[in-house]
Amino acid sequence: MKTAWLVGQKVGHFVSVLFLSSLVLAGLLWFSPGSPGKAREPVDFDEIAVGAEVCVAATTCGTLKSMPAKAPDDPTVDDGFNFIKKFVQVQLPEGEQTVESGDVLAPGPSFPTWFFGVFWKGVLIWDIGPAFNGDPVLDVVMLGAKQTLPIVFGALIAAIVVTLVLVSFLTWLPFPSMRGLLRTLLLILSISPVFVLGFLMTKAGVLPHPVLWWVAPAACVGILFVGDSSLGEFLLQLENEYRHLRSRDYIHAAGLRGASLFKHMLPGLLLPLSSMSAAKIAFLLGSVVIAENIYAVQGLGTLSLRAATKPDPLLLLTLTVFITFVVALVTLVRDLLEIAIDPRIRKGGGH
């Protein structure tokens, strides 16, 4: 009963974090200059020229293809905004379609309508609307996730495996000075930013291959698990945990009995590993933006950059909430793992 209550608490926390993070982000986007609910300012026709950026709806902007056929003082139009609506053709940034007269002119929806009615309702019925390229937003996000998540989790697993091997090696190494030197060298390598490592790798000839599709993702995994201090932080934390665990009495006793140390140490290492993974996943999902951009991988990171600069607020919100969902999910798994492994939590002792 106690366990079920704890699990329910953690799931409730997960849902509330997900909802609140989407609310905060939606609020940020809503109050930004590019708010989806904000009507555009009327265009000053004394300054407008072909090639200028004009917007005919809250989120429909493009380059002015041709000058209006009628003068702006036409009595049938009352201001520049209506004038744009009636006479101007705007070439949209992508695709062939143009905005014709009378197509659009409406201020965006209110914040509750946009956040609940468009976004969350769209998530529930799996139809949020089109992204900047005309494809459904959720399809675009899922397609990006298929590229990004294997890279991020691959980097996480690679970091854990390599760190475990390194910790075992460093613990075995009989010379303390050599151990320190090796650790320092690894830390220096690891502190290099992802983009510097990516740049150096591309200069060294590791480039996206037209046939070997896995080269770019593998390179991304490589620079992600080493760069931005990922490997260094894992190494320091895990080495501390490993040494702490090795000094525990029950491990000594297991060693004296001739039992497998690995078997006894594994549950003790699982908790710190899951905590480290939960802390690192958000960081990796941020750094993947840089790695994907260098290797032209069409994942969540590249999409975030494009959605931010287009700008496409709905896609940006969906992408960021999806990324937050992944981070919160990993944290939930960590919490559930803690409940499963640590009997003190189940019996009410707490952490």
Partner 1 sequence: MDPNNLIHRDPGEESEDATLAGKIAQGALKDIITTILRWRHADIRLIFGTIVLLLLVGFRIAAIFIDVDTLETHLDVGRSSGFSTGGGFQTTNCRPVEGLLLGNDRNGYSLTATLVEATQAFFLPALLSCGIALFFGTLLGAIAGYFRGGLLESSTKLLLTVIASYPRLILVIVAVGFFVAYLHDPGRAVGMRLFLMAMMLGVAYVPVLALAIYQKVGAFQREQFIEAARAHGLSDVRILGYHILWANCMPVLARHFFYLFGYFILVETSLSYLGPEYGVPGSIPSWGNLLAGCSKGELFSAAVMAPSVAIVGSILGLTFLGDAIGERFERGRT
Instruction: Give me the residues that bind partner 1 (CB under 8 A), please.
Output: 13, 16-17, 20-21, 24-25, 28-29, 32-34, 188, 191-196, 199-200, 202-204, 228-229, 282-283, 285-287, 289-290, 293, 304-305, 308-311, 313, 316, 320, 323-324, 327-328, 331
Structural contact between residues 276 and 237, judged by C-beta atoms closer than 8 angstroms = yes
Residue 136 falls in which region: left (phi positive, over 0), alpha (psi -120 to 50) or beta:
beta
How far apart are CB 13 and partner 1 at their closest, in Å? Answer: 8
How far apart are CB 323 and partner 1 at their closest, in Å? Answer: 6
Nearer to partner 1, 115 or 265 (CB): 115
Q: What is the dihedral of CA 221, 222, 223, 225, to 10 degrees?
A: 70
How far apart are CB 47 and partner 1 at their closest, in Å? Answer: 11
How far apart are CB 320 and partner 1 at their closest, in Å? Answer: 6
Tracing tokens 């496409």 back to the chain, one arrives at 312
- For residue 53, what are the contacts with CB-CB under 8 A and spacing of at least 6? 61, 62, 63, 64
Nearer to partner 1, 77 or 316 (CB): 316
Nearer to partner 1, 76 or 177 (CB): 177
Structural contact between residues 132 and 94, judged by C-beta atoms closer than 8 angstroms = yes
Nearer to partner 1, 128 or 285 (CB): 285
Structural contact between residues 280 and 265, judged by C-beta atoms closer than 8 angstroms = no
Closest CA to 228 of 297, 286, 147: 286
Nearer to partner 1, 120 or 283 (CB): 283
Residues pairing with 91 in the sheet: 63, 98
Structural contact between residues 220 and 151, judged by C-beta atoms closer than 8 angstroms = yes
Nearer to partner 1, 77 or 152 (CB): 152
- For residue 303, what are the contacts with CB-CB under 8 A and spacing of at least 6? 140, 141, 144, 315, 319
Nearer to partner 1, 29 or 170 (CB): 29
How far apart are CB 34 and partner 1 at their closest, in Å? Answer: 4
Nearer to partner 1, 77 or 131 (CB): 131
How far apart are CB 252 and partner 1 at their closest, in Å? Answer: 28
Q: Alpha-carbon distance 88 to 136, whole Å?
A: 27
**Measured between alpha carbons, how far is residue 219 from residues 118, 159, 192, 297 in Å?**
38, 14, 15, 11
- Helices then strands, counting H and E runs in the chain, come out as 14, 4
Q: Alpha-carbon distance 195 to 220, whole Å?
A: 10
How far apart are CB 21 and partner 1 at their closest, in Å? Answer: 5
CA end-to-end span of the chain: 19
How far apart are CB 102 and partner 1 at their closest, in Å? Answer: 25
**Measured between alpha carbons, how far is residue 294 from residues 79, 297, 336 in Å?**
46, 8, 36
Nearer to partner 1, 264 or 325 (CB): 325
Residues pairing with 322 in the sheet: none
How far apart are CB 188 and partner 1 at their closest, in Å? Answer: 6
Nearer to partner 1, 33 or 343 (CB): 33
